[in-house]
Amino acid sequence: MPTQEAATTPSATTAAGRREWLARVADVLPVPSPTAMRRIALAGVIASAVIIPSGAAVRLSQSGLGCTTWPKCTSASLIASGATGDVLVHRWVEFGNRLVTVGISVLAVIVFVAAWRFASRRAAGRRDLIWLAAAQPAGIAVQAVIGGIVVLTKLAPFWVSLHYLATLPVLAAAVILHVRCGEGTAPPRPLAAPLIRVVARALLVLTSVIMAVGTLVTGTGPLAGAGSAPRFDFMSLRAITEVHADIGWVLGTAAVMLVLAMHYLPGSPPRARRLGWVVLGLIGLQGAIGYAQYLAGLPAGLVWVHVANTALIWIAVIRLNLALRDRGPLSEPVVMG
């Protein structure tokens, strides 16, 4: 009968070797200061937000099939070269988006490593920061897989919509990480009246819903990524656009309610009130762009601005919700040897 040492030694040795290797790497990497960690986290927010207008540029320029396969651009080349049956500019727009994704992936890994060093070498042991930072490279990896499926299915509208929607939790994690880098570890303490917090949560839900419906509008209309791309056909473009607009009016009403409630009810923090006006302004701008693009026949440039603005709205709504609670000040961390 094998002894316990014989049964556990190979795996234990492998695990110990991995831990030793990680420890050596950790000793080489610098430990960011609280200020540096916030700046790195902010870079993660910007990078995660850039994914949205970058991907929209591919779809709205009809470059979705510029690269015919994945992960290579063509079956014979990693880059946008050779004949793919599409015009050259479409190939380079699609390939350029892939290059942007690579750069963003590298930055996401940097954010994770910085958060890991910041947390593992500090007395507080901020594992919440490690998990939030890990969501960025993990989410981008998921997006890359979905993007590959998008290409291989020739821009099937379900996968194209999911490709956009997958950016939202990644961007949310990046925003929360940036805020949490400047907060303590105390339990959340509400800073506003219950009504205000409820409306703010409803605003977050409505924003998620309208973004999901927006992908259905684009997937039904003429700018689906390529002229030959399949479309959603369960509703007409006019009908799904009207549903999208109706949700927009509900969203705008909720934003007005929130701003008025924070103005008239006592105790709302000034930062939350400022963010409320920012959210209301962005939603109003989005509505104006939406009606303008519809009446103008969906020009690609205007639609791109409409899609890009969703990133700003998403960030602002999340920041608004986070501004309605407090977790105490960030204690001065002590570097551990």
pLDDT at 110 over 90: yes
Cross-strand bridge partners of residue 326 = 189
- Residue 166 CA to residue 171 CA, distance in Å, equals 9
Domain presence at residue 285 = yes
Q: pLDDT tens for residues 307-319?
A: 999 999 999 999 9
At 290, list the tokens. 């939406």
- Range picked from 60-64, 140-144, 185-189, 265-269 for highest mean pLDDT: 140-144
The DSSP 8-state label assigned to residue 72 in this structure reads S
Among 57, 61, 69, 68, which residue's Cα sits nearest to residue 97? 57
CB 140 within 8 A of CB 186: no
Domain presence at residue 335 = no
Q: Mean of the pLDDT values across residues 267-290?
A: 94
End-to-end CA distance of the chain, in Å? Answer: 44
Among 143, 135, 121, which residue's Cα sits nearest to residue 176? 135
At 304, list the tokens. 């791109």
pLDDT at 116 over 70: yes
Domain presence at residue 16 = no
- Residue 126 CA to residue 184 CA, distance in Å, equals 9
Domain presence at residue 291 = yes
Q: Mean of the pLDDT values across residues 318-323?
A: 96
User: What predicted TM-score, i.e. pTM, was given to this entire model?
Assistant: 0.86
Domain presence at residue 31 = yes
Number of neighbours of residue 70 by Cβ within 10 angstroms: 15
Domain presence at residue 10 = no
- Residue 113 CA to residue 105 CA, distance in Å, equals 12
Domain presence at residue 12 = no
Answer positive or negative: Cα dihedral of 143, 145, 147, 153: negative
pLDDT at 112 over 60: yes
Output the average pLDDT for the chain. Answer: 84
In this prediction, residue 5 carries a pLDDT of 46
The DSSP 8-state label assigned to residue 325 in this structure reads E
Domain presence at residue 226 = yes
At 145, list the tokens. 């897989």
pLDDT at 337 over 50: no
Residue 211 CA, chain-centre distance (Å), reads 12
Q: Mean of the pLDDT values across residues 18-27?
A: 59
Report which residue type is found at 293.
Q
- Residue 253 CA to residue 247 CA, distance in Å, equals 10
Write out the H or E segment, with its range, that includes residue 326.
Answer: strand 325-326
- Residue 107 CA to residue 100 CA, distance in Å, equals 11
In terms of residue numbers, what domain contains 265?
A: 27-326
At 199, list the tokens. 């409306």
Q: pLDDT tens for residues 56-94?
A: 888 888 777 777 777 777 666 666 665 545 556 777 777
pLDDT at 107 over 90: yes
- Residue 98 CA to residue 103 CA, distance in Å, equals 9
Q: How many domains does the chain have?
A: 1
CB-based contacts of 303: which residues, under 8 Å, 6+ apart? 56, 60, 218, 223, 293
4 or 236, greater pLDDT: 236
Distances, alpha carbon 292 to alpha carbons 99, 177, 238, 304, 306, in Å:
32, 35, 15, 13, 10
Identify the band that residue 196 occupies on the pLDDT scale cut at 50, 70 and 90.
Answer: very high
